[in-house]
Structure 1
Amino acid sequence: MLKILRYVLSLITLLFASYGVITRDFKFGDSMILFLGLTMLVLGLEEFKKERKVMGGFLLVVCLFSLYVSIEGFLLN
């Protein structure tokens, strides 16, 4: 289940990033960072399931930072 969710979130992130690079229109940058944060959350949960607590904790910190940046971006625009 987490593997499928990781692939879906990664694909959505890749699509937002590709759109921004191709059109040079970065209006979806906040959404891309949101989905990137959610991808990091899923990766962190997978690492915790594999008993790799240090890497899982690091990914969760990255997730929280990405979610903070995306929410701040949504609120400021």
Structure 2
Amino acid sequence: MKILRLILAIIVVALSSYALITGIFGGIIPYVLFFIGLMLLVTGITEFREKRKATAITLFLVSGFTFYVSFKILLN
């Protein structure tokens, strides 16, 4: 799980850096949000396995909201 979280974090940083360098935000931000949601979901699963249920539930809720916003932007 740590490797997956690290890979997702690298993808988020790379996409965000690309958006900042090129100035193209509208097309990249939904994908950044999607990968942030995945990273939060993986972190939530890790926290749930470590018996930190309150933190895991919060991460699941934030992940769901991030997915919702990402898909809402993509569909507009």
Please give the range of the TM-score, normalised by the shorter of the 2 chains: over 0.9
Q: Number of residues paired by the alignment?
A: 75
Partner of 1:59: 59
TM-score (norm 2): 0.94
1:50: how far off?
Answer: 0.7
| C-alpha distance in 1 between matches for 2:21 and 2:55 | 33
TM-score (norm 1): 0.93
1:10: how far off?
Answer: 0.8
| Gap runs ≥5 in structure 1 | none
Q: Are 1:20 and 2:19 an aligned pair?
A: yes
Amino acid at match of 1:64: G
1:47: how far off?
Answer: 0.3
Report the secondary structure of 2:46's partner residue. Answer: helix
Overall identity of the aligned pairs, in %: 37
Report the secondary structure of 2:33's partner residue. Answer: helix
Amino acid at match of 1:62: V
| C-alpha distance in 1 between matches for 2:15 and 2:44 | 22
Report the secondary structure of 1:64's partner residue. Answer: helix
Partner of 2:73: 73
